[in-house]
């Protein structure tokens, strides 16, 4: 080297050597930071999704509740519509001039009982209206009879409860002198139990 030439800086000439230990330390720090960021991000996402799930569940519960209410209202509306149609039909039968009204007052054993038969001799259709009969036991059922030429003819069993407030269509008959109701075993009997006759009434005329 000649005199007067600048001497290169020794520190600048030598490359900086990073030890393996420092590299590992840096890697672990970055990994720890990344893990922390992922954890925080995961917590935020979980919180957001959990709130969304809660909102969805609330909306779902409200929707199901509204659906149940709507179905209940629709069912009641259909029931009222059916009941109204039945009442209109009953009124038409009662007001028909061809239909005979046969009141059946209670017998001596059951003086409080009362029922009415509406009979159309032309169409032979018979309808029964329960005015007042006690609710029977679970294994018992009321049965209507037509007395034809002095003999009882089965006109069928009938229901009580809400149905009793409407006219119930019974079996048809072309002839009858009177009608009666007895209490029989569930499903009806071949012959009436006379001791359990609740109401009876002769056809007018």
Q: What is the DSSP string of 54-73?
A: HHHHHHHHHHHHHHHHHHHH
How confident is the model over 69-123, as pLDDT tens digits?
767 776 767 766 767 776 778 788 888 999 999 999 999 999 999 999 999 999 9
How confident is the model over 40-82, as pLDDT tens digits?
877 787 777 667 766 666 766 776 776 677 677 767 677 667 6
- Judge whether residue 171 has pLDDT over 80: yes
Confidence of residue 12 (pLDDT cuts 50, 70, 90): very low
| Domains of the chain, residue spans | 19-95, 100-202
Kindly give, in sequence order, each residue whose CB lies less than 8 Å from that of residue 174, ignoring residues fewer than 6 positions away: 121, 124
Cα 3 to Cα 190: distance, rounded to the nearest angstrom: 147
Q: What CATH class is the domain 100-202?
A: mainly beta
- The 3 state secondary structure assigned to 79-148 is HHHHHHHHHHHHHHHHHCCCCEEEEEEECCCCCCCEEEEEEECCCCEEEEEEEECCCCCCCEEEEEEEEE
β-strands 140-148, 178-185: how paired? Answer: antiparallel
Kindly give, in sequence order, each residue whose CB lies less than 8 Å from that of residue 44, ignoring residues fewer than 6 positions away: none
Higher-confidence position of 139 and 85:
139
How confident is the model over 155-169, as pLDDT tens digits?
999 989 877 778 999
Higher-confidence position of 61 and 183:
183
Kindly give, in sequence order, each residue whose CB lies less than 8 Å from that of residue 139, ignoring residues fewer than 6 positions away: 185, 186
């Amino acid at each position: 080297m000649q005199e007067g030439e600048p001497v290169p800086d020794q520190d600048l000439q030598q490359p900086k050597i990073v030890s393996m230990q420092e590299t590992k330390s840096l890697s672990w720090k970055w990994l720890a930071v990344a893990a922390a960021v992922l954890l925080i991000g995961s917590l935020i996402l979980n919180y957001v999704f959990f709130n969304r799930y809660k909102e969805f569940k609330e909306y779902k519960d409200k929707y199901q509740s509204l659906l149940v209410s709507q179905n209940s209202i629709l069912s009641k509306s259909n029931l009222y519509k059916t009941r109204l149609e039945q009442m209109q039909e009953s009124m038409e039968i009662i007001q028909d001039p061809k239909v005979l009204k046969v009141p059946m007052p209670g017998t001596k054993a059951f003086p409080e009982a009362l029922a009415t038969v509406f009979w159309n001799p032309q169409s032979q259709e018979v309808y029964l209206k329960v005015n007042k009969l006690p609710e029977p036991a679970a294994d018992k059922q009321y049965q209507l009879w037509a007395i034809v030429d002095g003999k009882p003819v089965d006109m069928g069993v009938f229901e009580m409860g809400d149905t009793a407030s409407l006219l119930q269509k019974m079996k048809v008959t072309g002839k009858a002198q009177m009608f009666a109701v007895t209490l029989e075993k569930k499903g009806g009997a071949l012959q009436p139990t006379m001791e359990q006759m609740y109401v009876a009434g002769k056809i007018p005329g």
